[in-house]
Structure 1
Amino acid sequence: MEEKLMRAVQYSRYGGGPSGLEHVEVPIPTPNKDEILVKVEAASLNPFDWKVQKGILWPLFPSKFPQIPGNDVAGEVIKVGPGVKKFKAGDKVVAMITPGIGGGLAEYAVSKESLTVARPPEVSAAHGAPLPVAGLTAHQAVTESAGVNLDGSGKHKNILIIAASGGVGHYAVQLAKLGNTHVTATCGARNMEIVKSLGADEVLDYKTPDGAALRSPSGRKYDVVIYCAAGIPWSTFEPNLSENGKVIDITPVPTALFGYALRMLSKKKLVPMLLKPKGENLDFLVNLVREGKLKTIIDSKYPLSKAEDAWTKSIEGHATGKIIVEP
C-alpha cells in the first residue's frame, strides 16, 4: 500500500538560517503508545527553534537529522495510539511536542497524551498554539520561580518583566497581574500601549536612560525580575533589587553557570530557569484564554510555504507577541 505523505519543513544540518530550511514531502507519522496524531491547524515559532538549528544547544538538540522544527501546535486529533484514554479522533487540542524531537512545521504532528489538552471552541488554533512553550515558561516563571499565587493571595511582590511585549513576556505580564503584584515592564516605544493594556502598572522604553537602567518610575525595588532577554549585566540588575530580590533567567546558557553560582552566595540572586512542562498547567492556561483572562497577541501569520519568512522574523527578535505558521 502506498505510504501517505505530508508537506513539512526541515533542515539537515546545523546553520544556514532561513535558507537552510527545506520544503519536503515525508510520510505522515504514526502515533505510538500514549501518543496522538494531530492534524496541525496552527504552529507557533519560538527562539528555541532557530537556536537549535544554529547549534547553540549542541549536543542536546536536535536528537537527529533531518529535523522538522516546532514544538507548539494546535489542531484536530486524527488518530490515537495504544493506551490513549483522554482523546479520540475529531477532538480539538493544543499540544506540546517533545523538545528535540520536533515536528510542528508540518501538516501532521505527533504529541504525547500527557502534554496534549482539549481546546474549547472559544480558543482558536492560532491563539492556543503558542501556549505550550511561551505560556508554560511564563506560568512557571511567575508561579514557581517568582512564587506568585494566581488567586491574588500571598505577599505583595514588585515584579519587573524585561522584554514584556515578546512571546513569554506578554504572557508573564498578564499572569503576574492575576496575583498580588505591582508589575513594571520594559519594551520598545511602539509597544508601550500594548503592554499597558495587558495590565502592566509601569512601562519603560528600554532605549531611554531610565529604561536601560531598569529604574522603576515610582522608585520601587524589585522582589523578582523575569528576564526574557539577554545582554544585561548583573551591575544593572543589582541596585534595582530589594534586599532578597532575584533575577530569573528564562534563557540560561552554559557559559553563565559561573555567574549563577557566584550570585547564589549572596542575598540577591541570579537564578536559571529550565522549562518543566506539565499538562495540567497547559490545561489551566487554555482555560484562562477561554475565560478571557489571558490573551495571545499574534504578531504575524505565515503559510507553511513561507516558513522561511516566519523564521527570519523570529531571528530578528522584534516580534510583538507570537509568530504563527499555518499549514
Structure 2
Amino acid sequence: MAEKLMHALQYESYGGGAAALKHVQVPVPSPKANEVLLKLEATSLNPVDWKIQKGMIRPFLPRKFPCIPATDVAGEVLEVGSGVKNFKAGDKVVSVLSHLTGGGLAEYAVASEKLTVKRPQEVGPAEAAALPVAGLTALQALTNPAGLKLDGTGKQANILVTAASGGVGHYAVQLAKLGNAHVTATCGARNIDFVKSLGADEVLDYKTPEGAALKSPSGKKYDSVIHCANGIPFSTFEPNLSENGKVIDITPGPSAMWTFAVKKITMSKKQLVPLLLIPKAENLEFMVNLVKEGKVKTVIDSKHPLSKAEDAWAKSIDGHATGKIIIEP
C-alpha cells in the first residue's frame, strides 16, 4: 500500500529565514507508543521557531535536517499509538510538540499524549493553538518566580510587562490582572489602547524617554518584571525595582546569564531570573479553561494558509505582531 503523503514546510540547514522554507510532500507520520496522530486545524508561531532555524539556540536545541518547524498545534485525533489511554479518534485537542523535532507546519503531526489536552468546543482551534508556548511562558513566569496567586488571594504586587502587545506579553498582562496585580506595560504607540484593553493600569510607549527608562507613571517600584523585549540592560530595570524585585527574562541571552550569575554571587536582593519553559499538560489545561471561561482571550494578529506559511514566518521575524500569528491548513 502506498504511503499517504502530506503537504509540509521544511528547511534543510541553519539560516535563510522565510526564503529557506520549502514546500514539500512527505509521508504522514505514524504515532508511536504514547503518541497521537493529529489532523492539524491550526498552528501558531513563536520567535523560538525562527531562532532555532537561525542557529541561535545551539547547542541546546540542535536540529536534525530536514526539519519541519513549529510546536504549538490544535487539531483532531485521527489515530492513537499503543498505551494511549486518554484520547480516541475524533477528539479535538491542543498540543505542544517537542522543540527538538517540531512538526507543526504540516497537515498532520504526531504529539505526545502527556503534552496534549482536550479542547472544549467553546475554544476554537486558532485560539487554542496560540496558547502552549506563549501562554505557558506567561503563566510560569507569573506563578513561579513572580509568586503571583492567580485567584487574587495573594498580596497585591506591582508587575511590569515589557513588549506587552506580543504573544507572551498579551497573556502576561491578562494573567497578572487575574492575580490582582497593578500592571505597568510597555509597547509601541500604536498598541497603547490595545494593551489598556487587556487590563493594564499604566502603559508606556517604549520609544519615549519615560518608556525607555521604564519608570511607572505613578512612581510604583516593580516587584517583578515579565521581560518579553530584547536589548534592555539590567541597569535600566534596577532603579525601578522594589527592594526584592526580580526581572524574569523569558529570552535570556549570554549577558542575562552573566547578570544572573553576578547577582547570585553578590547575594543582591534584586535578581535577574532566566526563565526556561517547562510545558506541563495541567498548565495547558488551566489556560484552555481560562479561555473557555472568558477570563483570558487569545488575540490573533493574522491568519495565513499553510500554502503561504513563509509569509507568517517573515512576519514573526519582523517582530511587530500584535498577539499571535496563526497558520491554518
Shorter-normalised TM range: over 0.9
Could you list the structure 1 runs, at least 4 aligned residues long, displaced by more than 4 angstroms after superposition.
none
Residue type at the aligned position of 2:260? Y
| SS of structure 2 residue aligned to 1:30 | coil
Q: Distance in 1 between matches of 2:184 and 2:126?
A: 28
Cα offset, 1:235, TM superposition: 1.5
| SS of structure 1 residue aligned to 2:61 | coil
Cα offset, 1:202, TM superposition: 0.7
Corresponding residue of 1:22:
22
Cα offset, 1:180, TM superposition: 2.4
Residue type at the aligned position of 2:120? P
List gaps (5 residues or longer) in structure 1.
Answer: none
Corresponding residue of 2:102:
102
Residue type at the aligned position of 2:298? T
Corresponding residue of 2:300:
298
Q: Distance in 2 between matches of 1:192 and 1:276?
A: 31
1:283 to 269, 282, 285: 285
Corresponding residue of 1:308:
310
**Are the equivalent residues in 2 in contact too, given 1:62–1:101 (CA < 8 A)?**
no
Residue type at the aligned position of 1:278? K
- Residue 149 (1) aligns with residue 149 (2): yes
**Are the equivalent residues in 1 in contact too, given 2:151–2:178 (CA < 8 A)?**
yes
* Deviates further, 169-178 or 251-260: 251-260
**Are the equivalent residues in 1 in contact too, given 2:256–2:274 (CA < 8 A)?**
no
Cα offset, 1:88, TM superposition: 0.4
Cα offset, 1:174, TM superposition: 0.5
- Residue 230 (1) aligns with residue 226 (2): no
| SS of structure 2 residue aligned to 1:145 | coil
Q: Distance in 1 between matches of 2:247 and 2:192?
A: 22
Residue type at the aligned position of 2:251? T
| SS of structure 1 residue aligned to 2:316 | helix
| SS of structure 2 residue aligned to 1:40 | strand
Q: Distance in 2 between matches of 1:300 and 1:62?
A: 29
Residue type at the aligned position of 1:3? E
**Are the equivalent residues in 2 in contact too, given 1:18–1:309 (CA < 8 A)?**
yes
Corresponding residue of 1:320:
322
Calculate percent identity across the aligned residue pairs. 71
Residue type at the aligned position of 1:172? A
| SS of structure 2 residue aligned to 1:15 | coil
Q: TM-score, normalised to structure 2's length? A: 0.98
Residue type at the aligned position of 1:276? I
Corresponding residue of 1:42:
42
* Deviates further, 248-257 or 166-175: 248-257
Cα offset, 1:165, TM superposition: 0.3
| SS of structure 2 residue aligned to 1:287 | helix
Q: Distance in 2 between matches of 1:112 and 1:293?
A: 28
CA RMSD of aligned residues (A): 0.8
| SS of structure 2 residue aligned to 1:231 | coil
Cα offset, 1:61, TM superposition: 2.2
**Are the equivalent residues in 1 in contact too, given 2:256–2:272 (CA < 8 A)?**
no
**Are the equivalent residues in 1 in contact too, given 2:304–2:328 (CA < 8 A)?**
yes
CA deviation map 1:24-64 (0-9, x unaligned): 00000001111011100000000000000000011232441
Q: Distance in 1 between matches of 2:95 and 2:44?
A: 11
* Deviates further, 12-21 or 60-69: 60-69
CA deviation map 1:206-232 (0-9, x unaligned): 111111100101000000001001100
Residue type at the aligned position of 1:33? A
List gaps (5 residues or longer) in structure 2.
Answer: none
Q: Which structure 2 residues correspond to residues 192-231 of structure 1 after superposition, within 5 A?
A: 192-231=192-231
